[in-house]
């Protein structure tokens, strides 16, 4: 099971407990437009090798050069490495070759980070790749159909808004909570 930190970790922990499955992370970062960082011009994921998803429409509309794109990628790649060391330390990546891999997040919005995460885990050669999320926009799920072998989504809506609207408690998950969950589900039990 692979959670997208930090918000996907508590959701994945519930699933890991139910399935008696180990929990790992797929580290993904949004590649934000330099002058508007919340606007995703892509995403980068670490699954053993960097996987980069580009949103060419946003890149073109924002007038972002290849040099600017690469500079933001380098910054986000460094943040992924920092988080890998913080969260996972020297833990080995799980071998999912020929096994079912489940990618979990707290929800999907635009799909850029989810797409990058799925591609990174797909590169590890699982037998089957499942995306499991509580909530997502219907059109984004449809766009992700070719990225996963199966999608499990509890609720999806044409008019979506933001993921936080669907939670009674959408507080920030801190690093200590991520590490504690990983320690709890570090190996099958």
Average of per-residue pLDDT values in the chain? 92
Residue 189 belongs to a domain? no
CATH number of domain containing 178: 3.40.50.2020
Q: What is the pLDDT of residue 48?
A: 61
Alpha-carbon span 73 to 188, nearest angstrom: 34
- Among the residues of 43-111, which ranges form H helices? 56-62, 66-88
46 DSSP β-pair partners: 27, 50
Confidence of residue 175 (pLDDT cuts 50, 70, 90): very high
Our count of domains for the chain comes to: 1
Residue 82 placed within a domain: yes
Q: Which domain holds residue 95?
A: 2-184
Has residue 109 been placed in a domain?
Answer: yes
Condensed to tens digits (0 to 9), the pLDDT of residues 137-166 reads: 999 999 999 999 999 999 998 998 888 889
| Secondary structure in 3-state letters for 122-153 | HCCCECEEEEEEEEEEHHHHHHHCCCCCEEEE
């Amino acid at each position: 099971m692979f959670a997208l930190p930090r918000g996907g970790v508590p959701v994945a922990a519930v699933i890991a407990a139910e399935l008696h499955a180990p929990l790992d992370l797929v580290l993904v970062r949004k590649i934000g437009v330099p002058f508007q960082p919340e606007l995703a011009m892509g995403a980068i994921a670490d699954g053993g090798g960097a996987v980069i998803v580009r949103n060419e429409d946003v890149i073109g509309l924002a007038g972002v050069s290849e040099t600017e794109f690469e500079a933001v990628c380098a910054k986000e790649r460094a943040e992924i490495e920092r988080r890998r060391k913080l969260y996972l330390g020297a833990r080995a990546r799980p071998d999912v070759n020929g096994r079912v891999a489940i990618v979990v997040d707290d929800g999907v919005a635009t799909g850029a980070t989810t797409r990058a995460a799925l591609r990174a885990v797909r590169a590890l050669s699982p037998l089957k790749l499942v995306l499991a999320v509580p909530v997502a926009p219907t059109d984004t799920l449809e766009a992700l159909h070719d990225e996963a072998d199966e999608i499990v989504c509890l609720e999806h809506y044409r008019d979506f808004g933001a993921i936080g609207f669907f939670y009674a408690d959408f507080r920030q998950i801190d690093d200590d909570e991520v590490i504690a969950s990983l320690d709890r589900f570090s190996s099958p039990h």
